[in-house]
Structure 1
Amino acid sequence: MQDKVISIEAVPEFHDQCDLLVIGYGIAGACAALEAARAGGDVLVLERSSAGGGASALSSGIFYLGGGTAVQEACGFEDSADNMYRFMTASMGSEDAELVQRYCADNVAHFDWLETQGIPFERSYHKDKAVFLLTTEGLLSTGNEKVWPYREIARPVPRGHQVAQEGESPGSAAMEALIARCAEAGVRSACDTQVNALIRDGEGRICGVRARQQGQDRYFRADRGVVMATGGFSMNETMVRAHWPQYSETCEPLGGAYSDGSGIELGSAAGGRTEAMDGVIATASIYPPGQLIKGIVVNRNGHRFVAEDSYHGRLGGFIAEQPEQRAYLIVDAEIFAYPEIETARHQLVDGFETVEEMEQRLEMPAGALQTTMAEYNRHAREASDPQFQKHADWLKPLDQGPWAAFDISFDRSSYLFITLGGLKIDCEARVVDARGQVIPGLFAAGACTTHIPKSGKSYASGMSLGPGSYFGRVAGRCAMSG
């Protein structure tokens, strides 16, 4: 196996030279390249596949943005950087408070920048609960803003900004616009090029890469440094199994074919610190339709374990931790419907005339589900849920028989996932080592870095494209100013 970090003295010759090398042409890489080029840099992007776009182009095109964007204001929602910061640090953790504060403070300006590049966002609001849209509404709720206790810490407002393109992959419209702007700015690119080593000079600075191109190793010099924007490791089953103990054979990865962790491994070999490598967002949503949120979710022991109005990634995170990873969605006749996301493969167990009959069929302890249902119904009649503080919008007694149970178990349904762990960066998108010291010349952004939400329980849709695009821009500017 070739070394992942080599000395500049070992380089036989450089085949190309630039100011900044960007590895990966997804949203983080494109934003880094564009900002660096506009700062006067000669920028070269090396992309492993045959075209730019990456996993970003395959995505649902949702950016998590707030603080009072033009879309939020047009749809009648009042937000602020402080309100957004309070929610994010409460729900996603305060370990990276400085990084979160910077992201929130710059969000409105970042949204304006994205629109200026030609990424379209419609001034319209999708009111229903959704995981993604096939229509063009520009704003939807995509996180745990209304979930207790977060709704008491910060005013709940929707922050999912979706690119205005119909279909399953609106992210492609964002990437087409950004790559077009990069071309106009003079960004150079080379596709079908796989980086396999970083080059370090005599002073310890990352100053280039070795890459496999047309069957040969080629060497590229970067005077200002290297930006890693290579994606996560969802497609690397060995890495996933090593870091994620809840992994099940029924789980399916999301992302591009080259989301294999190679950039994380390169950065680690250079001394980069990694964090949250066990962090995963896994989803097999019970909604839409939203009426199913009025049901209850129980484990194999007949006990509730999470507020059902949680974001689908939060629900999935808790289901993965239940005994035998088993969970069931229980509904009554008044709200019965089939989950609409067919890829989740949630199976209807059966319909039942009594809760006792359902309890027996699901092989739960005698009386457990009956007690759970009775307690839930008693409080729901008073619009209350003292156990998990489920929002009143989704509370109703489940007392209209017959009843039905859907199997939503982690090892039976199909949970789609992306990884959240990666290289640790500072507020300037510089990769840091185990002591928190900056590795000279090495920057990173996007899914190869540690996400702000380090767990699926705190993730919100758009927390990949939002921070990925923002810190990509930061990386490009910082590299050129350093």
Structure 2
Amino acid sequence: MTDEMMIGTGIAKSKVVEPLEQNWHAEFDVLVIGLGAAGASAAIEAASQGAKVAIIDRFNGGGSTALSGSVYYAGGGTALQQKLNVKDDADNMYRYLKHEVDAVVSDQTLQRFCQQSVDNFDWIQQQGVRYSGDVFTIKTTHPRPEYSLYYSGNELLSSTIEQTQTYSAPRGHVADGNAKATGLGAGFFKNLGRSARRLAAKFYQQSRVSRLLLNDQGRVIGVEIKQLYSWTLSGLLHRLANKLANSTHMASPKLSSKCRGWINRLEQRAVSRSIRANKGVILSSGGFIFNRNMVREHLPEFLPARMLGQAGDNGAGIALGVSAGGAMKEMHSASAWRFINPPKTWPRGMVVNLSGQRYCDEASYGAVIGTRMYRNNLAQGMLIIDSELYNNSTEFLSRDARSLISMVVKQQLKTAYRADTIEELAELTGIDSGNLLATLEQYNACARGEQQDHFKKSLADMSVIAKPPFYAIDLAAGGSPALSLGGLVVDESSGQVKTSEGNGIEGLYAAGRTAVGIASNNYVSGLSIADGVFSGRRAGASAAKL
């Protein structure tokens, strides 16, 4: 890791200490760094196997999981799928996910993830996560609150079904308890986190890990933390600044950035402690999208995107692993989201860059559109529709979308570019006119069934765009939310962090978005949380057995 990448993580180089001479503040079997979905799962699993566990979190727990849509990707015949008469099996799930995640993990690991999906879903319900809604069978971004199961990826896409030889099955499990208007909140995390805190011997809140401590054999034996006491003024201001940072970073990035600056300054008042881990340290503190230096180095195309997550996603967990000799992988991988369904008519239009070229099947899952928009098309995306598609945009909107999404869609309709001809629309938007006309001509030929679409878009998902006036909706306006997907290389059977030579680092494990995992190549809604549970339980079990 370069010095530049260390900026913003607050991580110092690992330190070799003599265990008997070190002044340990406390001693545990397993230390879990970061309390999100992965950290909570790791802590519960390790404690359930008899380990004395301490959880250390920079804030008060929850991480990005507690700010999310609480979607958990599960299949193979979960209890909820069976209750709602949804057909699915582990092999069907595997073949679909293999198409999505490619070779980011071994086939054996992906098969294990799918085979364990039913048991892991039962396990999170045992921790108190609840699902009481119906199944929503129409493609949508995030279903209304009365639904607990929906198609959260490309399962309904004709080209996907054809390529994978699968049958469609909804696998996005939405936990009860999120905000009705936005669909966001701690519905999934609340009871999972409560279970982890109950089983842990100690929860160090508002405590930032600043370095790893090693013995002279290179084994990780503990951590150094910077702890703020919650009852002090600094502790109170730290909590308030974090709450404000999380609540404003989408609507007011500058204010959120100021809040994170206050957080960093308040943490300078923290007290240093050394905590010993007799069996292992598990890194589960999220990704690095909030560390602009790391994004600039690894994901420069995504700098214009909005950061998805929270202040703890600053790469600290990854930096800790690298400081002990850990290797990184998939650091170029990220997911940006630009959903255009609902409205149900928008995917029937065409998305182009400013050169007038299409770059995706518009009926695809929103992360496909958003990621290609940033990675390959200079953050450019214009949705081109005609008057018929425009006028029908609000049809069934109240059925298909939560109120916040409906409000955003209506605002985008108001601000859309409008012109009587395609040439005039190109001039208004800055799109290359000649290319746009040629692209539209080809698209309409595909929509009429005269030729095969280059992106294998189904004829059933296309409309001839011919009725003026014509409209263009700027999909890049305001920036799309994005998260990092790369992290530390781990042994896929144990979660142990590995060096660039492929050797395991004794006493060090990683899980969730701190590690390379199921979701590290391509994102499907709910896959990151599901991978967090899968990899967290794996790391917790491995650390507890030592």
TM, length-normalised to structure 1:
0.92
Name the CA shift for 1:13/1:464 in 2 (closer, same or farther; >3 Å).
same
Residue 357 of structure 2 aligns to which amino acid in structure 1?
A: H
The answer to whether the 8 Å contact 2:133/2:146 transfers is no
Q: Is the 8 A contact 1:272 1:439 kept in 2?
A: yes
- SS of 2:538's partner is helix
Q: Give the one of 232, 240, 264 matched to 2:287.
A: 232
What's 2:439 paired with? Answer: 372
Distance in 2 (CA, whole Å) between partners of 1:95 and 1:447 is 13
Classify 1:38/1:334 alpha carbon distance in 2 versus 1 (closer, same or farther; 3 Å): same
Q: Unaligned stretches of 5+ in structure 2?
A: 1-9, 229-269, 395-404
Q: Tell me the SS of whatever aligns to 2:147.
A: coil
C-alpha contact 2:33 2:209 (8 A) present in aligned 1: yes
Take 2:411 and 2:278, find their aligned partners in 1: how far apart are those partners?
51
Q: How many angstroms apart in 1 are the aligned matches of 2:514 and 2:475?
A: 30
Question: Could you tell me whether the CA contact under 8 Å between 2:44 and 2:196 is conserved in 1?
Answer: yes
- State the alpha-carbon separation in 2 of the partners of residues 417 and 364 from structure 1: 25
Is 1:350 paired with 2:414?
no
8 Å Cα contact 1:299/1:322 also seen in 2: no
- Of stretches 105-114 and 151-160 in structure 1, the one that deviates more from structure 2 is 151-160
* Counterpart for residue 124 of structure 2: 114
Q: Aligned with 1:165: secondary structure? A: coil
The 8 Å contact of residues 288 and 341 in structure 1, kept in 2 or not, is answered as: no
Give the Å deviation of 1:308. 0.3
Report the alpha carbon displacement of residue 115 of structure 1 after superposing the two structures with TM.
Answer: 1.0
Trace 1:313-392 onto structure 2 (pairs within 5 A): 313-322=367-376, 324-336=378-390, 337=393, 340=406, 342=408, 348-382=415-449, 385-392=452-459
Secondary structure of the residue that 2:301 maps to in structure 1? coil
| 8 Å Cα contact 2:33-2:284 kept in structure 1 | yes
Q: Evaluate the alpha carbon distance shift between residue 365 and residue 166 of structure 1 in structure 2; reply closer, same or farther with a 3 A threshold.
A: closer
- Correspondent of 2:542 among 475, 478, 482: 478
Provide the residue aligned with 2:43 in structure 1: 33
**CA apart distance, 1:69:** 1.2
Give the Cα–Cα distance (whole angstroms) in 2 for the partners of residues 212 and 64 of structure 1: 35
- Number of the residue aligned with 1:417: 482
Q: 2:495–2:509: 8 Å Cα contact kept in structure 1?
A: yes
Report the residue type matching 1:89 in the other structure.
K
Following the alignment from structure 1 to structure 2, what is the Cα–Cα distance between the partners of residues 216 and 239? Answer: 27
d(CA) in 2 for partners of 1:43, 1:200: 19
Shift of 1:3: 4.0
Contact 2:302 2:482 in 1 (8 A): no
Match of 2:528 in 1: 464
Matches of 2:50 and 2:28, distance apart in 1: 12
1:6 corresponds, among 11, 15, 30, to 15
Query: Is contact 1:143–1:311 with CA below 8 Å preserved after alignment?
Result: yes
Say if 1:17 and 1:221, in contact at 8 Å, map to a contact too. yes
CA contact (8 A) 1:304 1:372 kept: yes
Number of residue pairs matched by the alignment? 476
Taking the TM superposition and a 5 Å limit, the aligned residue runs for 1:149-164 are 149-152=159-162, 153=164, 154-164=166-176
Alpha-carbon distance in structure 1 between the residues aligned to 2:197 and 2:377: 53
Quote the Cα distance in structure 2 between the aligned partners of 1:5 and 1:481: 24
Confirm or deny: 8 A CA contact 1:421 1:448 kept in the other structure. yes
Matches of 1:228 and 1:384 in 2, distance apart?
Answer: 51
Q: Which structure carries more helix by proportion?
A: 2
Name the SS for the 1:225 alignment partner.
strand
Query: 2:277 is matched by which residue type in structure 1?
Result: A
Query: How many Å apart are 1:321 and its aligned residue?
Result: 4.0
Q: Gaps spanning 5+ residues in structure 1: where?
A: none
Letter in 1 for 2:14: V
1:364 is displaced (CA, Å) by: 3.9
1:442 has 2:508 as partner: yes
Shift of the 421–346 alpha-carbon distance from structure 1 to 2, 3 Å rule, reads farther
Q: Which moved more, 1:389-398 or 1:425-434?
A: 389-398
Out of 222, 227, 231, the position equivalent to 2:277 is 222
Q: Residue in 2 aligned with 1:88?
A: 97
CA contact (8 A) 1:60 1:133 kept: no
**Deviation per CA, 1:28-72, whole angstroms, max 9, x where unpaired?**
1111111111111111111111x2212211111001111121222
Report 1:15-26 matches (<5 A): 15-26=25-36
> What is the TM-score when the length of structure 2 is the normalising length?
0.82
Offset at 1:78? 1.8
d(CA) in 1 for partners of 2:411 and 2:12? 43
Assess if the C-alpha contact under 8 Å between 1:128 and 1:290 holds in 2: no
CA separation in 2, counterparts of 1:189 and 1:359? 57
CA displacement at 1:437 relative to structure 2: 1.7
Correspondence for 1:431: 497
Residue equivalent to 2:339: 285
Is 1:213 the counterpart of 2:241? The answer is: no
Q: Is the 8 A contact 1:384 1:392 kept in 2?
A: no
CA distance in 2, matches of 1:383, 1:34: 57
